[in-house]
Amino acid sequence: MRFCFRLGCAAAWGALVLNAGGPAIQPQRITSVVRADQRSGKLVRSVIVTPRTVGQQRVVETVIAPRVVPEVPVPEVDADEPKPAPPSGLDEAVDRIAAQHSLPPQLIHSVIKVESNYNTNAVSPKGAQGLMQLIPATSRRFGVANAFNPMENIQGGAKYLKYLLDLYNNDYALALAAYNAGEAAVAKYGAVPPYKETQNYLHLVADQLKKSMGSPAVRETGPAQPVKQPEENAPAGLKHIQKMVDRDGTVRYVSR
């Protein structure tokens, strides 16, 4: 009995020690049993440990600071820097393109009036397209991707007119005849071809130029060179012009 009492005191003392940390920790339950061994007759002590109940664990909150994304500086735009404005209308577009190619704007307007009457979607029976009625081969030749785009069409037509005026030494009649009938036709006859359509075309363009010569804009910039009527044209000496055939079969005429 004395032995059991000591064991019980020890168990109770152990419980007190385990509880010294406070109520948040529950002690383990220790049970000591003394019994006689059946073989040897000696007293044998057995200790039974009951696992303690795990108390509520404290969860430590982890505070994650928000990621700060640095601001990307926006480049300052100089408000005083001049910016090219798109053409506000067809007149301004013609003026700009004419100035780029050193052409009178009245010439471009006259060709547009006669060719399409300012119809951007015009298509001729021969397949000429747009304001200045460029055939697909001419569009490709002068870098026009969309002949129905007014700016591209005028740019291509102006390039072609400038090329023809340079080719024929600034002879408007020959240049316009080639614009209408082709360079090969002018080369064949050495002058304005005797085609009724081409001769009528020169009359119409000449009339448009005469009408434009009286406008204030023409008086300021100077009139375009008059187009000679076909009957006034003597056969021109075109010996300086050479025929060129490209690999794809395209025929061009260039100055020697």
The band of 188, judged by pLDDT with boundaries at 50, 70 and 90, is: very high
pLDDT in tens, 126-162: 999 999 999 999 999 999 999 999 999 999 999 999 9
- Specify the higher pLDDT residue, 69 or 134: 134
Instruction: Assess whether 115 carries a catalytic annotation.
Output: yes
Q: Which of 71, 76, 115, 231 is catalytic?
A: 115
- Judging by beta carbons within 10 Å of its beta carbon (0-12, 13-18, 19+), is residue 161 exposed, middle or buried? buried
Helices 172-181, 150-167: axis angle to 10 degrees equals 130
User: CATH code for 90-255?
Assistant: 1.10.530.10
Which structure tokens are listed for 50? 């009951």
Q: pTM for the full model?
A: 0.57
Q: Phi, psi at residue 152, to the nearest 5°?
A: -65, -40
Average pLDDT on 242-252 reads 58
**pLDDT tier at 47, thresholds 50, 70, 90:** low
- Cβ pair 187, 238 in contact under 8 A: yes
Identify residue 12 by its one-letter amino acid code.
A
Instruction: Give the CA angle between residues 202, 170, 228 to the nearest 5°.
Output: 35
pLDDT at 14: 45
Distance in Å from the first CA to the final CA of the chain: 138
Structure tokens at 229: 């009527």
With pLDDT > 70 as the criterion, what percentage of the chain qualifies? Answer: 49
Instruction: Give the contacts of 207 (CB within 8 A, at least 6 positions apart).
Output: none
